[in-house]
Structure 1
Amino acid sequence: MAAQEPPRAASDWEIIPISRTAWRICDGSLTETDASRLVAYVDRYETGTYDVLWLRSPCPTRSRYRDLDELLADLDAANATGSSSEVSRATRPVHIAHFPPRE
């Protein structure tokens, strides 16, 4: 049984094989030294379903797919809708006032 070829992504997603039934999805628009380049890990089970471990936001709400094309379409949709409204993780959190304990 030969390893299934991953589909060609329409966007900058790179699908890198890890084994015959596992892939890593990376954002090709980021440099290789950027940790946020790694988007997800994908495993294909004997039943034919694909299970996804999402590693960054925005990401789809689903984690199980019937094929990789469906997974990439959901990833494109989540990235298109979520990137404009997402707050950067580098932004400082909102300050919460601290009051001393009551005696």
Structure 2
Amino acid sequence: MTMTAPEPPRPETTTWEIIPLGHGAWRISDGSRKQTDAGRLVAYVDRNDTGTLEVLWLRSPCPNRSRYRSIDELLSDLDAAVAQGTAPARSTRPNEIPHFPPA
């Protein structure tokens, strides 16, 4: 007989930790997860020469955009993506393409 523990309840609001990595670079982490959880790391952010923030998303759900004007805009988009729901697992099959028999 195998027993699995239920997943612990998630807090209603997610707290984002923005950790500076250097001049114009940050790491965004999920403060509601444990330090040992690999899903804690959300994204890397880098400010380019024009002042635009470029984001490398590391987990789902994440926004569709990867360029932002400000950190506040980025975080509000991230909150909206998380509130919208979870993305399908990467192991799920993509949409089926219809195939027709030869004529």
Give the structure 1 partner of residue 53 of structure 2.
50
Deviation, structure 1 residue 11: 4.3
Runs of 4+ residues deviating >4 angstroms: none
Q: Distance in 2 between matches of 1:16 and 1:63?
A: 18
Give the structure 2 partner of residue 32 of structure 1.
35
Q: Distance in 1 between matches of 2:50 and 2:92?
A: 44
Equivalent residues in 2 for 1:21-100 (5 A)? 21-83=24-86, 86-87=87-88
SS class of match (2:33): coil
SS class of match (1:17): strand
Deviation, structure 1 residue 93: 6.2
Q: With CA pairs under 8 Å and 6+ residues apart, which has the higher RCO, 1 or 2?
A: 1
Q: Report the identity percentage.
A: 64
Give TM-score, length-normalised by structure 2: 0.71
Gapped runs of 5+ residues in structure 2? Answer: 1-12, 94-103
Q: 1:54-97: CA deviations, max 9, x gaps?
A: 000000000000111000000000000023xx4567xx868xxx
Gapped runs of 5+ residues in structure 1? Answer: 1-9, 95-103
Q: Distance in 2 between matches of 1:70 and 1:93?
A: 31
Aligned residues: CA RMSD: 2.0
